[in-house]
A and B are shown apart, each in its own frame.
Chain A
C-alpha cells in the first residue's frame, strides 16, 4: 500500500526522538530502547493517518489539526502542580488508590498508593522499569500493537512513564484505583502509557481520567493496555474532560482470557478533537464485555469513538451501548465494529448507538460494521439519531414544568441510561457533575 505523508509533519517527532534517544534514556534497558526505536520506525513508515478515500477507520475524522500543530514532546514537571488545582478531578474517597501524572510524568506527591495485598503492584512505569523490569519486558506493548496504528506507534516511541498495575492470580485490588492524567502545557504532546495485568480470578476497578489545567492547545496521546486473566473481572471507567482546545487520541486495548469479564463505561465531555479507540479481543471461551459510552459535544467539538470487538472464541458475549448528545456545530462519530471469527460459535453481540441532536448544525455519524465468519451466532445492531421528543416535552410542560427545564430533564433522561447504570457510586456522582457542567451550555430555549 502506498501511504501518503507530508514529511514535515512527522519530522518534528523524529527529531524529538533523536534527542530523546541521545539524552533521555541512557540507563534504560536495551529491550526498551529497541521497542521505542522500532516504534518510531513504524511511525515514520505509517505517517499520520489521513481521511483519504478508502481509509474507513479515519473516514469522518480529520486529524490534520493535530499533525499541523507544532507540538513539543513534553516530559512533565510534576513539581509545579499543587493538590488544590486537581481537587475537582479526584474521584472516590480516601480509601481509593490514586496515581497522578502531570504531562505524562508520575507525581509521587499527588499520588496515594492504597494498602495492597501480597503480590499486587500499583506503581509508575518509570519506577517499575527499575524494580520489575522483567514484567515490563514481558508485557509492555504486547497487547497494544502499533504496526497499523500511527498514534500508538508514536506513544510507544516515547514511552517513559505511566501506570503499572499488576494483580497476581486470585488476588484482588480491594479499593478502586484512579489514574489521573493532567495536561498542563500548551503546545505540547504527552504520551503516558498504562499497563494493567490482571491474573486469574482477580478483580480490579480502575478509573482513568484525562483532564487539562491549561486552556491552550495540547495533545494527549495515550495508550492503555489491559490483559485480563481467566475468570477475572475488570471494571473500567474512563472520563475525558480536557479543555476545549485540546487534542486527544486514546487507545485502550483489552485482551480477555476465558470466562473473564470487562465492564467499561466511558464519558467524553471535553476536547476540540478527540479520537478514542477501544479494542476488545475476546480471546477465551465465554469471555464477555459490556461497553457503555456517553459523549457530549458542543461548539465545534469533534469526538470520534471507535469500538472494535473481536469475538475469537465460542460463547463470547459483547454489549455496546453508546449515546451522544450534540449541540452547536459539533460532530460526533461512532464506529462500532464487531468481528466474529470462524469457530466462535454461539457468540452473542449487540451494539447500539443513539444520538440526541440539540441543534440543526450538529452532525452525528454512526457506522456499524459487522464481520461475521461463523454461522451459529447472534448479532444485532441499532442506531438512531433524533431530536427531543416533542410529545414528551408537551407532557412535561402541561404539568407546569417550563419549557427549558423540561428540555433539560429530557436531555438528562437521555443520558441517564448510561450514567445511572454506573454501579460505582463515586464514579456515577463524578459523571453526573460533569454532565451538569456540560449541560449548562446547551441552548435549550
Chain B
C-alpha cells in the first residue's frame, strides 16, 4: 500500500446540526493514475464523501481516518488540502457575486505555487494561461471576466469547474457529478476535457449517475455506494450493470447483509 495516494479507512461522517450519520464505515483506496467512478442513489452520501475530503466545515467526521500521500488529510484546512494537491469539482458550484474567476483563481493558483516554493505568476501570464485552457472545455472567454458562476448556465458552471481543475493541476481530483444536467454535446465536451487531464501521476474520483460519461473517461474501478457504505466494487462493467438494473438490488443486498 506504499504507493496509495488516498487511503480512506472506516470513515464515519455526519452533517448539520441534527448530527445525521451519512457515511458509515466507508473504505476506499486510490492509487496514482487511477480513475475511480462512484455511483449510488440520491442521498447515499456521495457528495458528503466529496465534501469531507475537501474539508467542508458543515460535515463532521465522527470516526475513521483519511490519509492523503501519507498525511492526515482530515487535520488540514481546506486551502491546505488544495495546496497539497486535492481538487473538488462541485456538484452545485456557488455564485460568487463580485469576484471574477481570473482574480480568485490566480490567488489560489499562486498560493499553491508558493507552498511548493515556486514563483508567483503575473496577472498577464495567468490570464493568458486561463484563456488557453478555457479552450479545453470550449468555454467562452468572456465568462472568465464575469463574476464566478453568476448567471452561468448549469453547463457553463460544470465547464468552469473542469477549467479550474486544468489550471490547478491537482494530484487528486474529486469530480462530483460533472455531467449531470448537461446535454449530450456538453457531456462530450466536459468528459473529453477530463479525459485530457488524465495522467499517470494523477488520480480521479468521478461521481456520476450515468454510464455515458464513462464511455469517455473509462474508469479503472467502479464503486456502488448505498447508505454511506461501498456495497460493491468492480471494473467498468459494473457501471453497465448499475445502469441496466438500478440500485434496488444493491440496497436489498445491503439490508440482507446488515440483518444477517
Shortest Cβ gap from A160 to chain B (Å): 44
Give the chain A neighbours of B104 by CB distance below 8 A.
396, 399, 401, 406, 409
Measured CB to CB, the nearest residue on chain A to B89 is A398
Return the CB mask of B135-157 against A: 1 if under 8 Å, else 0.
00000000000011000000000
Contact B82 A409 (CB under 8 A): no
**Majority secondary structure, A binding face:** helix
5 contacts between A and B (CB under 8 A): A390-B58, A398-B87, A399-B105, A410-B96, A415-B98
Give the residue of A389, A392, A401 whose beta carbon is less than 8 angstroms from that of B111.
A401
Measured CB to CB, the nearest residue on chain A to B99 is A413
Which residues of chain A (381-427) have a CB below 8 Å from chain B? 389-392, 394-403, 405-406, 409-410, 412-417, 420
Question: Provided the pairs A409-B103, A409-B107 are in contact, do residues A395 and B94 lie with their beta carbons within 8 angstroms?
Answer: yes
Give the chain A neighbours of B90 by CB distance below 8 A.
395, 398
Contact A392 B109 (CB under 8 A): no
Give the chain B neighbours of A395 by CB distance below 8 A.
90, 93-94, 96, 148
Contact A400 B88 (CB under 8 A): no
Question: Provided the pairs A398-B82, A399-B164 are in contact, do residues A413 and B108 lie with their beta carbons within 8 angstroms?
Answer: no
Let me know if B168 is at the binding interface, CB within 8 A. yes
Could you say which interface size class chain A belongs to? 20 to 34
Known: A396-B107, A397-B78, A399-B109. 11 other contacts (CB 8 A): A392-B99, A395-B148, A396-B96, A398-B78, A399-B82, A400-B83, A401-B111, A405-B107, A409-B99, A410-B98, A414-B98
Bound CA span A412–B97, Å: 10
Bound CA span A415–B97, Å: 10
Question: Provided the pairs A394-B57, A395-B93 are in contact, do residues A400 and B112 lie with their beta carbons within 8 angstroms?
Answer: yes
Contact A397 B77 (CB under 8 A): yes
Shortest Cβ gap from B86 to chain A (Å): 8
Bound CA span A394–B83, Å: 14
Give the chain B neighbours of A396 by CB distance below 8 A.
96, 99, 104, 107-108
Contact A400 B94 (CB under 8 A): no
Give the chain B neighbours of A412 by CB distance below 8 A.
98
Interface core residue of A398, A409, A413 (most chain B CB under 10 Å) = A398
Give the chain A neighbours of B109 by CB distance below 8 A.
399-400
Contact B96 A401 (CB under 8 A): no
Question: Provided the pairs A394-B57, A397-B77, A397-B79 are in contact, do residues A402 and B97 lie with their beta carbons within 8 angstroms?
Answer: no
Question: Provided the pairs A398-B88, A402-B111 are in contact, do residues A391 and B97 lie with their beta carbons within 8 angstroms?
Answer: no
Contact B54 A398 (CB under 8 A): yes
Give the chain A neighbours of B56 by CB distance below 8 A.
394
Measured CB to CB, the nearest residue on chain B to A390 is B57
Which residues of chain A (208-257) have a CB below 8 Å from chain B? none
Bound CA span A413–B77, Å: 23
Give the chain A neighbours of B98 by CB distance below 8 A.
410, 412-417, 420
Measured CB to CB, the nearest residue on chain B to A420 is B98
Shortest Cβ gap from B70 to chain A (Å): 20
Give the chain A neighbours of B164 by CB distance below 8 A.
399
Shortest Cβ gap from B173 to chain A (Å): 12
Bound CA span A414–B103, Å: 15
Give the residue of B58, B95, B97, B111 whose beta carbon is less than 8 angstroms from that of A400.
B111
Contact B96 A400 (CB under 8 A): no
Bound CA span A399–B99, Å: 13
Return the CB mask of B50-69 against A: 1 if under 8 Å, else 0.
00001111100000000000
Contact B99 A410 (CB under 8 A): yes
Contact A400 B57 (CB under 8 A): no
Shortest Cβ gap from A421 to chain B (Å): 11
Measured CB to CB, the nearest residue on chain A to B114 is A400
Give the chain A neighbours of B83 by CB distance below 8 A.
400
Bound CA span A85–B93, Å: 48
Which residues of chain A (341-389) have a CB below 8 Å from chain B? 389
Question: Provided the pairs A399-B168, A400-B168, A401-B108 are in contact, do residues A391 and B82 lie with their beta carbons within 8 angstroms?
Answer: no
